């Protein structure tokens, strides 16, 4: 699986760029032109995203790591690679978003 930055807000995990764009279109309702205009491309699986600390396995919660407090919750920085492996992601999905 790879990760694609669709725009300034969303990252999609998919097998390839075409699959990412198709999934994102169905999920969000944006048309092809809108997606193409904002699409930023493939990102490194070593790029990090925030994962709520309570969503980590207990063993991981006990380990030292880079943390950030946001909106009254505590988050850990985890790589896309880590999230894909630990969430067992095998189908396209929005893996990270700045919108709630």
Number of neighbours of residue 34 by Cβ within 10 angstroms: 14
* pLDDT surpassing 60 at residue 100: no
Q: What is the pLDDT of residue 21?
A: 98
Q: What's the pLDDT tens digit per position in 39-65?
A: 999 999 999 999 999 999 999 999 999
How far are the Cα atoms of 17, 63, 84 from residue 7, in angstroms, in the given order? Answer: 13, 33, 20
What is the spatial distance between Cα 96 and Cα 83, in angstroms, rounded to a whole number? Answer: 10
What is the spatial distance between Cα 8 and Cα 98, in angstroms, rounded to a whole number? Answer: 8
How far are the Cα atoms of 4, 53, 55, 62 from residue 70, in angstroms, in the given order? Answer: 24, 11, 15, 20
Q: What's the pLDDT tens digit per position in 72-91?
A: 999 999 999 999 999 999 99
């Amino acid at each position: 699986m790879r990760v694609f930055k669709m725009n300034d807000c969303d990252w999609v995990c998919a097998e390839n760029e075409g699959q990412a764009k198709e999934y994102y279109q169905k999920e969000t309702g944006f048309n092809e032109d809108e997606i193409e205009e904002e699409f930023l491309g493939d990102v490194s699986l070593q790029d990090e995203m925030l994962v709520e600390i309570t969503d980590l396995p207990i063993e991981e919660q006990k380990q030292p790591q880079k943390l950030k407090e946001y909106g009254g919750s505590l988050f850990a920085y985890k790589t896309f690679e880590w999230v894909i492996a630990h969430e067992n992601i095998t189908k396209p999905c929005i893996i990270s978003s700045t919108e709630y």
